[in-house]
Structure 1
Amino acid sequence: MAIVALIYGFTKVNSFDCLRLNPKTKFTIIVPFRNEAENLPNLLNSFSKLNYPIDLFEVILADDCSNEGLKV
């Protein structure tokens, strides 16, 4: 029941857009994965659509001994 209340609450939050602020914060996205060959292209595509300067973030993919033939 608590999950439903949280989901409902998040739908009531207004979005905030302030166009006068320039991004300054650097961050790293670390993605651990194992045997995710089907899902990684969609994930990487979603990262490419981030509305954030690419020089301010990095993505690190950490393969945990996948036994699939990955082409990343």
Structure 2
Amino acid sequence: MRNLESDRLILRNWRISDLENYHKIASNKKVSDLTGFRLKTNKVESLNTLEKFIAVSDDSKWEMKLKELNQLVFGLLN
């Protein structure tokens, strides 16, 4: 998949380098409660999930970054 960009956002496939940002969101109880996704309690759990996203990566598994902060803001999962 090629990257899609707007003035403020970048949409692209997941990468291992997204682990820190992904774990920050995936280990947040408020995010877990709102999304219904299981709370990640450690980086190993987050890494395992991220590796699955990458392994089955296709045009429905996108990571969205806010350019201004170069930080994950949302993951689009189909």
Q: Does TM-score exceed 0.5, indicating one fold?
A: no
Which has the higher Rg, Structure 1 or Structure 2? 1
TM bin, normalised by shorter chain, reads under 0.3
- Relative contact order, higher structure (CA 8 A, sep 6+): 1
- The structure in which a higher percent of residues are helix is 2
